[in-house]
Homo-oligomer: A and B are copies of this chain.
């Protein structure tokens, strides 16, 4: 028994106790957070499919069976992490939209925002890019669905920026998919590269978006 009676249920204290005891709901939520953080951290250099419930429990400082009080399985945990990661991603997209509605500087500001967020939310972006192709089936599907939603939203954004005479709905969807694929690729490169190469990667992404923009401006659906 490694936990003394004087520090009863809370597995690992984040801040000093300050005498004020939490409600049961707060406690549960806090443990849940610890589990999510620990899982995100532990699968950083492998994958959810190679993560064991016991590893997570040990990292959090609870007994393995206590895990079930919060999640049915690792896969269930994974779905929660998808949810959480896409909150990060959508905040990024909100920043992109807020930053600049003109397309003189839209590329620069978008790439800048991408760089900032992949740095600040590194674990979330790495998680998505990894589990997107290698996670448990249900997790993969959830991520694909979310990315699909993002693609659709981008397509409607693009519809406002382009000439409807030249751009069919289908082609907008295709362009949107192209841009998202490219950004996912850039994100994957960033999260797997050494930090000091980051500016060069972002510069590459900028140039690529410019090349595509040149194409898009001349495009006309047949």
A128 CB to nearest chain B CB (Å): 10
A218 CB to nearest chain B CB (Å): 5
* Cβ B133 vs Cβ A134 within 8 A: yes
Report the separation of the CA atoms of residues A184 and B182 in the bound assembly, to the nearest whole angstrom: 10
A47 within 8 A of B: yes
Binary B-proximity of A159-172 (CB < 8 A = 1, otherwise 0): 00000000000010
Residue tally, chain A, CB below 8 Å to B:
38
Choose from B129, B133, B134, B216 the contact partner of A215 (Cβ within 8 Å): B216
A64 within 8 A of B: no
Report the separation of the CA atoms of residues A214 and B171 in the bound assembly, to the nearest whole angstrom: 14
Main secondary structure, interface of A, reads: helix
A9 CB to nearest chain B CB (Å): 33
**Which of A78-86, A113-121, A205-213 forms contacts with chain B?**
A205-213
A153 CB to nearest chain B CB (Å): 18
Report the separation of the CA atoms of residues A133 and B133 in the bound assembly, to the nearest whole angstrom: 8
* Cβ A140 vs Cβ B192 within 8 A: yes
Report the separation of the CA atoms of residues A207 and B170 in the bound assembly, to the nearest whole angstrom: 10
